[in-house]
Amino acid sequence: MEKQASNVLSTLIIQDFTALGQMSMTSALTVSQSMNILTASLPVQMLSTQTEGFGQPHREIMADWMEQVWHHWDTIDIKPFTSTLIGYLGTNELAQLVNMEIRQHRNPNLIVDPAMADQGRLYPSLTKSYVEEMRRLMSGAQIALPNVTELGLLSENDLEMTPSDDKLRQALKRCQSFAPDCQIIATGVKKGSAIGCAWLRGNEIVWAGKNIIKGHFFGTGDLFSATFNVLKLRFPKLDVDQLVSEAMAVVYAAIQETAALPAAQWKLGLQLKDAISLLMTFE
C-alpha cells in the first residue's frame, strides 16, 4: 500500500477513558501510536471500569478540563489535526460541548462513531435528545460508523439485527438527509451466519462481513472506528471497500485472540497483540 509520510499525520481522539482493560480511548491510542500517528487525547469522561459487568463505575466528567485544554491549545496556536475521531460521549452536555468546539475549530476529516446503543436499545441514562446531538455531529462529519441499532435510532426506522437491503437503504438515505456530505457505514449488520458492514454505493447496498464468532466481545466498535481512522490517514488512496475490509480483518484478529481466553475475561476488552501485528503488515 502507498502510505502518507508519518511526520504530517496527527489525530485528535475524543471519547471516554476507561481505567481498566482495553476499551474506548485505550484501544484507539494503541492503534494510532502503533502506526506512528501523533495523538492528542480529550477524554470526555474518566470511568473506573466499563459500564457492563462491573456494577456502577465511578465517573468523572471532564467538561471543564476540556474547555481549558481547548483554550490553552488556542493560545499556543496548535495547528488543526489531520483527523478527529469521536466516540462515546455519554451526556447531552458533553455532546453539545464537543459539537460547539468541533464547529468552532473546523476540525477536518471528522469520523464519528455515534456510540449510544446496542442490541436494540439506547444505553442507560441516554434519551432521544442525545440521538439528536449525534445527528448534529454527523452533519459535519466525513465518515459515520453507527451500529445497526444506532442506525435505526438515527433514521427513526425500526431495524432488526438482520435488516433487509430495502430497510438498510431507507435508513441510510434518511441519515443522508441530515448528513449529506457524510459516508455512513453501518456496522454489526448480520447476514446468515456472518456479520459485517453495510453502506450505500449510489442506490445499491454494499455489504462485507466475516463469519460470526460466538460470544459477546466488548470494544469491537471502538477498535473498528480507531482502525478505520488510522487506515484512512495512513493510506489515503484506499477506497471505502478496502478500508472496511482491512479494518474488519484487524477487529476479527482481535476477536479470535480474545475468544481463546476464558469468557470471564472478555469484559476487559479485546486482546490487541494479533490485531496490531496484522495492522503492521499493511505498512
pLDDT tens, residue by residue, 96-127: 999 999 999 888 899 999 999 998 899 988 99
At 92, the pLDDT band (50, 70, 90 cuts) reads very high
Is pLDDT of 169 > 90? yes
Residue 116: CA atoms inside 13 Å, Cβ hemisphere, count?
Answer: 28
Is pLDDT of 63 > 70? yes
Its sign, for the CA torsion 7, 142, 12, 150, is negative
pLDDT, position 8: 79
Q: How far apart are CA 272 and CA 76, in angstroms?
A: 35
Mean local confidence (pLDDT), 12-35 = 96
Mean local confidence (pLDDT), 163-185 = 97
**Is 77 within 8 Å of 122 (Cβ atoms)?**
no
At 3, the pLDDT band (50, 70, 90 cuts) reads low
Cell 484501544 appears where? Answer: 27
In whole numbers, what is the pLDDT of the chain averaged over residues?
95
Instruction: For the chain, give the percent of residues with pLDDT over 70.
Output: 97
**Residue type, position 264, single letter:** A
Dihedral (Cα; 211, 34, 234, 181), 10-degree rounding: 70
Mean local confidence (pLDDT), 64-86 = 95
pLDDT, position 107: 80
Q: Is 254 exposed, middle or buried (0-12, 13-18, 19+ CB in 10 A)?
A: buried
Mean local confidence (pLDDT), 183-212 = 97
CB atoms under 10 Å from CB of 250, counted, come to 25
C-alpha cell at 189: 449488520
At 176, the pLDDT band (50, 70, 90 cuts) reads very high
- What is the fold, at CATH topology level, of the domain defined by 6-281? UDP-N-acetylmuramoyl-L-alanine:D-glutamate ligase (3.40.1190)
Contacts 24+ apart (CB under 8 A), 42-45: 42/12, 42/13, 42/14, 42/66, 42/69, 43/15, 43/16, 43/17, 44/14, 44/15, 44/16, 44/88, 44/89, 44/90, 44/94, 44/98, 45/16, 45/17, 45/89, 45/90, 45/91, 45/94
Give 212's DSSP letter: P
**Is 37 within 8 Å of 44 (Cβ atoms)?**
no
pLDDT, position 52: 86
Is pLDDT of 223 > 80? yes
CB atoms under 10 Å from CB of 206, counted, come to 15
pLDDT, position 4: 62
